[in-house]
Every structure is written in structure tokens, then in C-alpha cells.
Amino acid sequence: MSGGRLVVVSNRLPLGENPSGGLVVALEDALKTSGGLWIGFSGEAAQVASDHLVFHDGASFGRASFDLTQADFDSYYLGFSNSVLWPMCHGRADLSHILPEYLEGYRRVNARIADLMLPHLRPDDRIWVQDYQLFPLAAELRKRGVTGTIGHFLHIPFPGPADCAALPNPAELFEWLSHYDLLGFQAQRDLSNLSESARQLMDVEPLGHDRMRLGGRLVRLGVFPVGIDTAAFMQEARDAPDEDRMRTLTGAQMMIGVDRLDYSKGIPQRFRAFQILLENHPDMIERIAFLQIAPPTREAVAAYRDIREETEHLAGRINGEYATINWTPIRFIHRSLPRRILAGLYRQAHIGLVTPLADGMNLVAKEYVAAQNVTNPGVLILSRFAGAADTMQEALVINPHDPWELAEAMAIAMRMGANERRRRHAALLRDVVEHDVGWWSATYLDALEQAAAERGQVVDV
Ligand code: ADP
Ligand code: F6P
């Protein structure tokens, strides 16, 4: 991207000596060449919020963190971000928990981040804000006189009219969004939800398919499906521990699920479908072992504690009912694993199970495909409600709410011959290679540059 420096802002800052992970790798070049800066939360709760950013060495681009007091963390992160916005964006308004202090904390933290950023900004910076935790940031920066280009990318689904209407003050969401030059989404579904919600709730008509006038300002809209660092992940899987040794360790064909323990991921539905598989296809007993890796997340929020309890209970019940002396149907690991190990597990799993009830993209689907051995690949079972399903149609695409359909897909995957597995996998891999995270960031940043070039022009629409 030509022009000014790139400044990325996200809730989580990639810290650690060698920051890795798809997003970092994708943005590293752009950040390096433009002397860029990445700003985010340090992960530390402080007694008193500090009045400056802390700069970190050890990366090829600038990294600066802010801390949060426990009260800010509770209201901004656990509260408005993850007890209000997250459930509304994932179609679970019933799990939301609205308190006035959550919205106040969310506004306050975004205003504070803008204050902390201000002394470090340059007039020609291109600011790229990530995700739902920071919707108000552009509005706060504008209040403080920032006139440069600011883009936003939403990693999770955008809510439709019914869920938008369930927010405490829906008009405020549109006011926040109106201060961005470009709004990026994972899937067409999200862009359509934005247009429809704006039409129904704000009486705003979209201008064609990629523009909208919000609060008197022209905002560009686009779909940019996020990818993974495919080449690096393929290498990681090839370097993983030897497959035959791993297979003798498990004894049966492995089916794998890897998710944060979040109610949006459809884990109980998966367990019920697995139970139906064992019930309806007794020949599968001792032939298939389900490994679910799901580290608990956001546990201070009641809905997350509930999903943990529900899944543990279900796994225990199914294991109690179906286990034999030699075989445990479900192994449930509540920890994060190193990426190298994860890549090896994906590679040796005959089935990759990705069944969210709602998901912006779902990167696990892409990682599973990238990790396969191309001569003997496994089968991806993918929810139609993951953004990934838009381009990954060669997976077994299922409705995760229907455990009978999902159980049948498991049986089909178990019996699928090598030729069909190779054909499906080759098509999936082409997409994951072509649309990797580098493609994603380059495409977004090109669109942001175009938005910058058009700023201030009178655009015919
Ligand atoms: P979300 O952003 O909602 O968590 P995604 O599937 O898009 O869902 O991304 C999850 C990322 O976190 C993936 O890169 C995945 O490999 C990683 N991840 C999830 N669970 C684990 C785990 N138990 N150990 C290590 N990494 C994990
Ligand atoms: O992909 C959505 C997202 O909420 C990211 O913004 C976030 O980093 C990730 O999921 C994990 O969630 P958290 O940061 O709340 O643990």
C-alpha cells in the first residue's frame, strides 16, 4: 500500500518475542515497509489506568500496548463486547446481558484508546481498526480532530435487523460505523445484514452494492473473507510427528474438533450427533474416536460457564453409555495446544468437524484443509452458517442444528473412498491457498487506499 503509515488497532496485541499467527504474518510486510504500528490491549489489568502507551521491542514493526483497569475490563470486554455485542452478532440475543454500565465502559475505553493513540498519530496514517470491541474508535478519533483514512474490519457476523434492534441503543452502532471510510466484512451475508438493518432501523437506503450514506457521510462497504497463512501451516503439518505412530496411539479413525469453548460453535449439537451416529451405526463403535479440543474462554461470563457444564455433562454421559474397555468415544481436552501439535492432529484426523451455529469465517476449517496429506486427505464437515462455507462448498456442508443430518455426514465421511476425498480436498485446498491471509490483507488495504483516494471527492451514486 502506498501513502502513509499503516496503524493497526485490535483488542489483542500480538506480544511475545516472535509474534506469529496469521494476521501478524499477513500484516508484517505492510507494517514493516511503512514503518507501521500495531496498538492493542496488553492483557494486564492495572490498578490505575496509565496515561500513555507502552512500546515493545522485538518485532519488525512498532507495537504499543494499553492496559485496562479491572472495572474497564469487566464492562468493556466481558460486558458490552462479550455479553452484548457477541451474542447479538451470533443470533443469540437470548444469551445477552445488558447493563447500562457495560455500554458506558465500552464508550469510555474506546475514548481512552483514542486519547492514548492521539500523540502518536501522523496526518497521513492509514488506520485499520479490527473487530467489534472497537466499533466507536473512529468516532472518538474524529472527535479529536483525526481526519485521515480509517477502515474497519469485522471478524464476526454482522447482526440482522432483529438482533440489531435488540441492542440497547441501535442508532449508536450506526453512528459509530458512519465515521469509517471502509467497512469490511467476512461474507456477503454480513454486508446484506448491515444494509437491511440500516434500512429497517435507520431508514437508510444503500447506494448500490458497496456504498451507504450514514450520518451524512459516505461509507464504502466490501466483503474480504479472511484466510490463514496457508504455506506456513502446510509446512507445520508436514513437519509434525509421524502419522503412523500417531495412528497406533489412537487405534481408531480420528474425528477432530478444535474451537474455543463458545456457545456459537455448536459443540453440544456435535456431541448429540455423534451419539446418534453410534446409535444408528453400531459398526462405528471402536472404529471412530472423537477428539474435541476446546479451551474455556471468557469464563467470567455466565453463558460461557453454562456451555462448559453442558458439554462436560454430555461428553461424560456419552462416554459412560458407549465406552468399551479398549475405547473411549469422546476425548475432551480443555487446553490450548501448540500450533505444531495442532497441525499434526489435523493431519491425522480422518474427519475435521467444524459445526458452528454462527461464525464470521472459521479459520479451523481452513487449517484442517491446509494440514491434510494430499494423497490421503481427510474429510471436512462444515456448517453452512460458517462464513467459510461460502467458498468451501466441496466440504460436506451441513445444517448443525439437525443432529440426524450431521450424524449421516459423519457416516458418509467415514466411508468415503480415497478418490472422492482427494477430489474434494484438491478443490478446497486451491481456495485456501489462493485466498490466504496475505491475499486478504492486500485486498482490504487496496480498497482502503481507493477509499482514501476518493475521500472528499463528490462521488456520483
Ligand atoms: P474464533 O476466532 O471464534 O476463535 P476461528 O476458528 O476463526 O474462531 O479461529 C480460532 C483460532 O484459534 C484458530 O487459529 C485455531 O487454530 C485456534 N485455536 C482454537 N482452539 C485452539 C486450541 N485448543 N489450541 C490452539 N489453538 C486453538
Ligand atoms: O474472531 C473473533 C474474536 O473475538 C477475535 O476478535 C478475538 O481475538 C478471538 O475471537 C478470540 O476471542 P478473545 O480475544 O475474546 O479471547
Confidence class for position 34, pLDDT limits 50, 70, 90 = confident
For the question of whether the overall pTM of this predicted structure is more than 0.90, the answer is yes
Question: Closest ligand to 155 CA?
Answer: 2
Range with lowest mean pLDDT among 11-20, 55-64, 372-381: 11-20
Does residue 261 line the site of ligand 1, with CB under 6 A?
A: no
Question: Closest ligand to 131 CA?
Answer: 2
Residue 359 is among the residues annotated as catalytic for this protein: yes
Q: Please check whether the domain covering 6-227+437-452 is classified as CATH 3.30.70.20.
A: no
Sequence ranges of the domains in the chain: 6-227+437-452, 231-434
Examine domains 6-227+437-452 and 231-434 and report if their fold is the same.
yes
Mean pLDDT over all residues of the chain? 93
Q: Is the pLDDT of residue 50 over 90?
A: no
Q: What is the pLDDT of residues 141-195, one digit of tens each?
A: 999 999 999 999 999 999 999 999 999 999 999 999 999 999 999 999 999 999 9
State the SS3 of the chain. CCCCCEEEEEEECCCCCCCCCHHHHHHHHHHHHCCCEEEEEEEEEECCCCCCCEEECCCCCEEEEEEEEHHHHHHHHHHHHHHHHHHHHCCCHHHCCCCHHHHHHHHHHHHHHHHHHHHHCCCCCEEEEECHHHCCHHHHHHHCCCCCEEEEECCCCCCCHHHHHCCCCHHHHHHHHCCCCEEEECCHHHHHHHHHHHHHHHCCCEECCCEEEECCEEEEEEECCCCCCHHHHHHHHHCCCCHHHHHHHHCCEEEEEECCCCHHHCHHHHHHHHHHHHHHCHHHCCCEEEEEECCCCCCCCHHHHHHHHHHHHHHHHHHHHHCECCECCEEEECCCCCHHHHHHHHHHCCEEEECCCCECCCHHHHHHHHHCCCCCCCEEEEECCEHHHHCCCCCEEECCCCHHHHHHHHHHHHHCCHHHHHHHHHHHHHHHHHCCHHHHHHHHHHHHHHHHHHCCCCCCC
Q: Is the pLDDT of residue 274 over 60?
A: yes
Q: What is the pLDDT of residues 368-418, one digit of tens each?
A: 999 999 999 999 999 999 999 999 999 999 999 999 999 999 999 999 999
Q: What is the pLDDT of residues 104-150, one digit of tens each?
A: 999 999 999 999 999 999 999 999 999 999 999 999 999 999 999 99
Q: What is the pLDDT of residues 297-330, one digit of tens each?
A: 999 999 999 999 999 999 999 999 999 999 999 9
Class at the top of the CATH hierarchy for domain 231-434: alpha beta
Q: Is the pLDDT of residue 461 over 50?
A: no
**Ligand 1, closest atom to CA 361?**
7
Does residue 141 line the site of ligand 1, with CB under 6 A?
A: no
